Amino acid sequence: MPLAMNREVFITCAVTGSGGTQDKSPHVPRSPAQIAESAIAAAKAGASVVHCHVRDPETGAPSRDKGLFREVTDRIRESETDVVLNLTAGMGGDIVYGGVETPLPPVEGTDMIGATERVAHVADCRPEICTLDCGTMNFAEADYVMTNTPGMLQAMGKMMTDLGVKPEIEAFDTGHLWYAKQLVKDGILEPDALVQLCMGVPWGAPDDLNTFMAMVNNIPEDWTFSAFALGRNQMPYVAASVLAGGNVRVGLEDNLMLDKGVLAENWQLVERAVGIVENLGARVIGPEEVRKKLRLTKQAPV
Amino acid sequence: MPLAMNREVFITCAVTGSGGTQDKSPHVPRSPAQIAESAIAAAKAGASVVHCHVRDPETGAPSRDKGLFREVTDRIRESETDVVLNLTAGMGGDIVYGGVETPLPPVEGTDMIGATERVAHVADCRPEICTLDCGTMNFAEADYVMTNTPGMLQAMGKMMTDLGVKPEIEAFDTGHLWYAKQLVKDGILEPDALVQLCMGVPWGAPDDLNTFMAMVNNIPEDWTFSAFALGRNQMPYVAASVLAGGNVRVGLEDNLMLDKGVLAENWQLVERAVGIVENLGARVIGPEEVRKKLRLTKQAPV
Amino acid sequence: MPLAMNREVFITCAVTGSGGTQDKSPHVPRSPAQIAESAIAAAKAGASVVHCHVRDPETGAPSRDKGLFREVTDRIRESETDVVLNLTAGMGGDIVYGGVETPLPPVEGTDMIGATERVAHVADCRPEICTLDCGTMNFAEADYVMTNTPGMLQAMGKMMTDLGVKPEIEAFDTGHLWYAKQLVKDGILEPDALVQLCMGVPWGAPDDLNTFMAMVNNIPEDWTFSAFALGRNQMPYVAASVLAGGNVRVGLEDNLMLDKGVLAENWQLVERAVGIVENLGARVIGPEEVRKKLRLTKQAPV
Amino acid sequence: MPLAMNREVFITCAVTGSGGTQDKSPHVPRSPAQIAESAIAAAKAGASVVHCHVRDPETGAPSRDKGLFREVTDRIRESETDVVLNLTAGMGGDIVYGGVETPLPPVEGTDMIGATERVAHVADCRPEICTLDCGTMNFAEADYVMTNTPGMLQAMGKMMTDLGVKPEIEAFDTGHLWYAKQLVKDGILEPDALVQLCMGVPWGAPDDLNTFMAMVNNIPEDWTFSAFALGRNQMPYVAASVLAGGNVRVGLEDNLMLDKGVLAENWQLVERAVGIVENLGARVIGPEEVRKKLRLTKQAPV
């Protein structure tokens, strides 16, 4: 079989994330204005999708404040640079256990809310895309668990579909991808689903190519996929995903460094990704082509 | 490369489990006496390892009562049939969320206890092997999550190693296997680790062969592995695991049926697995060979 | 993705082959009567397809004598045991080079003939299936090359299709499978092609599972496949092929031994394969079901 | 397992090849002076190895004239640009059959010579590396077969090893790689072998990633590998090989185009490969580092 490379690639820039990175780099945007500005710069550099979280404008701490999401949305929508808006809906599924001898009740850091509240900013902002973290797993630190039960995913997925917002399934391991297929089978997600393979996030799927290809081989033919890896494997995964037939995600959410010892800005990471994609012989497509490909509707905020 | 098949295979019988299966088949053993009897029959049929949970003798509901574990242990140890004892340590990591709008606090069905208590019956019974479910994931039903955080796994793993009991890592997805390697790297597990690949358990790794091979390719060379799948894929995975270089697990914990419409007993499932293994040209090894291979110590209960 | 196992499996018995095995086992049939008898016994044991070569009745040396093929055909067709007939068309593509310093001209052992002659016995006997070795490669010994050029394959493939005989593509390596797809694309083979993955034949594809799965992943969805490996990996590949979604080939062409030190008869190998297939939970299908599945026409000899 | 990417990569430029490409691009070098000049320009652009064939200086037809190889060698060695010299030993294993009805005797285009003669220019020029095409297969056109029998490979391999020239095994399919391992096992090649995975050459291994990974998974740990694909997949395979842990080959032998409609020069292809490698975060290593890594000896011509 000839190499099933994607020759028409879209790049998502994951602008800021919810990691504790705000004090590790001055380029991690905090306020809505900064986030929008960084997103727009990324779009100008070639990102046709911007994936946004919000942060406390002062402390940089991750937030799920509806007003902040709305401000980011408005600023991006009102700019002259067209870009597909992708908002996280990952917040509010966080549990931190109370330690190895008394795990319950959950302790500080826990933020575990209902489906309606988790999707409230999506209902308000009406981005073209929002994320759906498609499972539960240990997430790096000792006692923190990213928690999204099947029931929660069904509820959130249905709300998103009803809102006309395309869920981007985040699959952090092979089982999340499996469950995403179940959501399609159950009619909760549309058959031409969109999935992001999140590789090398401890403790989900490792980012070796055998694991990656096992996941790629399990994506239905009518789905669209993208993939990323963390840290210094961010640029390698730009290539890996395109080679395997997918699209690309880069940005400060996943990686702070441009080169060894050099802190990156979002537009620089996008620029480098564009360079890789084009050197592979593929074309970077723009936001209108992405909307058409993914059947996205650009809606006005409510 | 020539087929890396395992030609000296051990069979584990997973005797009863903790699933809600006790009313689906009269052969699911409930009382310690029944569990021991079923385990011994399995051993006579060719299982050199028996993996045991305990249940309420009356209702058959899953239990983690120390006294029940001890009775099972004593009955198996006192029988004239030699077999390697493998006790679950999976109980006590169960959370059931309160639904999609008010996930917290956890509701009935939750059983989330500390590391010391989770390992108490192991400290008491001193089996050669006990299990270590190496991660957190959605587990089949809507709001139930199997919860084992990294901190918990470190604590439990260290206790097991200190007790001289070999942990059998249960890897339900690729990330669990990755974390198990971290536990070895951290010195919590010994370098020649033992891992069970649990395939096709919703919502962990699906049981297609590409995913399975990606996991097998990621097992360090000095580890020993076994694999199983659920339901009607139990016998196919006997073959799959042997072909890929691994060992075998069958039993009523994972599958109730011998043939379509025919409920199985444990010894029958073992007997069928022996048939497959031998027809593939491999030899089934006994408990003494398993102890030598895995460096297991048969200890007296405390 | 759930295990894509084949649950309705046909077994081909490769009755005698053209290897130099006739003096290694008294059970390798030589005369048409012996070949037919062994084939029929295999069919009675569960083979729904018999793949036949012919040999010199006295010496057992491989032959491509039309009369011998006809006698085998007639004897099998006239028996009361129904079975799908599959005749080799692999003979006549053999070159033995003259050594490392003077490779040309070819020396004794060479048998390199034209397409019409290679297919003559097929035109005469009209089996339901005949083989098409889909490439050129070094074949075990120092200076022997199995030689089937693209031009030859196009010519032979067209003749077979025109005769209403289904070609069974033999793919000994990944490139042979690739070329087979080209033959379909060129309209020489029908879209629902039949392929035999010949694993572990020196010096074609090795029989490790990663290589096998790479080939399986490259088989178009509307094709039917079978797979085999040599010697002591014959029975393991019965399981491997079924697990991967394929059918099964066993027989003395590929393996002489039933167990260590025990020479096999064809029917015994088939019987063992039936045991494996059934223990995996699949059903062995008969010749009429195979004809329907593969759209085969049972023709009268000319 | 973390991504096993190669972070210290060498680039081979395959300068001119023996394909019928000389009239398709004015940049395909013909004379020894042109070949050396193109090779040196490639080295200056970042290739630390140059893989050279020779051609008739007038017609551009592929040649195996010893004098031409010597002139290329001398010119490259005498330049001020250091580069590892890799000469083909692929010539002289070519058979063109006489068509589908009378395949033998071979016809025009056939060039099938003895091992000593095939290695004569290597014995004369003493490059650090020469190639060893590790098998026999149909090669694109209808009746042409690249023919290298096991006997021939043993003889040539031994001659190379005795000359102190490192063979670069060319593996065009999975069976070629298998046989290369046999050559190591037989003591003909050294244990730390060097292999080039030649992907997507009709009718060898296709260049899809599943097939590629199956081959990569079969490379022994102490070997060094490189990989390439043809035409527009040349640059994608720069990334694929680095991601999978390998090194890189580009050049006019495998691909004539820089971009759609733009004919390439060798140095431009190398330059682009350097860009990809560096954007992935890897370092391009120079000729002295390659010699050290591969234990190569720079010898004087005889």
User: From first to last of its 302 residues, what are the pLDDT tens digits of chain D?
Assistant: 789 999 999 999 999 999 889 999 999 999 999 999 999 999 999 999 999 999 999 999 999 999 999 999 999 999 999 999 999 999 999 999 999 999 999 999 999 999 999 999 999 999 999 999 999 999 977 789 999 999 999 999 999 999 999 999 999 999 999 999 999 999 999 999 999 999 999 999 999 999 999 999 999 999 999 999 999 999 999 999 999 999 999 999 999 999 999 999 999 999 999 999 999 999 999 999 999 999 999 998 88
Task: Please state the domain count of chain C.
Answer: 1
> Nearest CA to CA, how far is D133 from chain C (Å)?
12
Instruction: Report residue C1's pLDDT band, with 50, 70 and 90 as the boundaries.
Output: confident
> Nearest CA to CA, how far is A155 from chain B (Å)?
7
Phi–psi pair at B148, nearest 5 degrees: -140, 100
3-state secondary structure of B112: strand
Between C and D, how many residue pairs show a Cβ–Cβ distance under 8 A? 179
Average of per-residue pLDDT across C66-79: 97
Question: Which of C5, C216, C237 minimises the CB distance to B236?
Answer: C5
Size of chain B in residues: 302
CATH number for the domain that contains residue B157: 3.20.20.70
B-chain residues within 8 Å CB-CB of D217?
217
Examine residue A140 and state whether it is found in any structural domain, yes or no.
yes
Q: Please tell me what DSSP assigns to residue D106.
A: P
* Predicted local confidence at residue B141, as pLDDT: 73
pLDDT at A142 over 90: no
> Nearest CA to CA, how far is B218 from chain A (Å)?
8
* Predicted local confidence at residue A140, as pLDDT: 76
Examine residue D9 and state whether it is found in any structural domain, yes or no.
no
Examine residue C142 and state whether it is found in any structural domain, yes or no.
yes
Average of per-residue pLDDT across C110-131: 98
3-state secondary structure of A142: coil
H-run or E-run covering A95:
strand A93-96
Tokens describing residue B148: 């084992």
* Predicted local confidence at residue D143, as pLDDT: 86
Burial level of B167, CB count in 10 A (0-12/13-18/19+)? buried
pLDDT digits (tens, 9 = 90+) for C178-191: 999 999 999 999 99
Cβ within 8 Å, pair A276-D279: yes
* Predicted local confidence at residue B12, as pLDDT: 98
Residues contacting B226, CB < 8 A, separation 6+: B10, B12, B194, B195, B196, B197, B241, B246, B247, B248, B249
Cα–Cα distance, B225 to B177 (Å, whole number): 11
Domain span at A40: 15-294
Testing the interface with D: which of A198, A209, A216 to mutate, by most D Cβ within 10 A?
A209
Q: Please tell me what DSSP assigns to residue A104.
A: -
Q: Which of A61, A143, A140 is nearest to A102 (CA)?
A: A143
> Nearest CA to CA, how far is C229 from chain B (Å)?
9
* Predicted local confidence at residue D1, as pLDDT: 77
> Nearest CA to CA, how far is A100 from chain B (Å)?
5
Question: Which of A110, A152, A210 minimises the CB distance to B217?
Answer: A210
Question: Does the model's ipTM exceed the 0.95 cut?
Answer: yes
Please state, as a whole number, how many other Cβ atoms lie within 10 Å of the Cβ of residue C259.
Answer: 12
Residue A132, strand partner residues: A169
* Predicted local confidence at residue C141, as pLDDT: 74
Cβ within 8 Å, pair A143-B150: yes
* Predicted local confidence at residue C142, as pLDDT: 76
Cβ within 8 Å, pair B97-A150: no
Residue D263, strand partner residues: D257
Examine residue B3 and state whether it is found in any structural domain, yes or no.
no
Examine residue B142 and state whether it is found in any structural domain, yes or no.
yes
* Predicted local confidence at residue D10, as pLDDT: 98
pLDDT at A235 over 80: yes
* Predicted local confidence at residue B251, as pLDDT: 98
Tokens describing residue B76: 């198996």
Q: What global pTM score does this model have?
A: 0.98
* Predicted local confidence at residue B16, as pLDDT: 98
Which region holds residue A138: left if phi is over 0, alpha if psi is between -120 and 50, else beta?
beta
Q: In chain B, which residue's Cα lies nearest the Cα of A179?
A: B203
pLDDT in 10s for each residue of chain B, 302 residues = 789 999 999 999 999 999 889 999 999 999 999 999 999 999 999 999 999 999 999 999 999 999 999 999 999 999 999 999 999 999 999 999 999 999 999 999 999 999 999 999 999 999 999 999 999 999 977 789 999 999 999 999 999 999 999 999 999 999 999 999 999 999 999 999 999 999 999 999 999 999 999 999 999 999 999 999 999 999 999 999 999 999 999 999 999 999 999 999 999 999 999 999 999 999 999 999 999 999 999 998 88
Examine residue D76 and state whether it is found in any structural domain, yes or no.
yes
Cβ within 8 Å, pair C149-D144: yes
Q: Which of C197, C195, C176, C178 is nearest to C241 (CA)?
A: C197
* Predicted local confidence at residue B237, as pLDDT: 98
Cβ within 8 Å, pair A281-D207: no
* Predicted local confidence at residue A1, as pLDDT: 76
Cβ within 8 Å, pair B280-C236: yes
Examine residue C270 and state whether it is found in any structural domain, yes or no.
yes
* Predicted local confidence at residue B302, as pLDDT: 86
Examine residue D254 and state whether it is found in any structural domain, yes or no.
yes
DSSP assignment string, B154-217: HHHHHHHHHHT-EEEEEESSHHHHHHHHHHHHTTSS-SS-EEEEEES-TTS----HHHHHHHHH
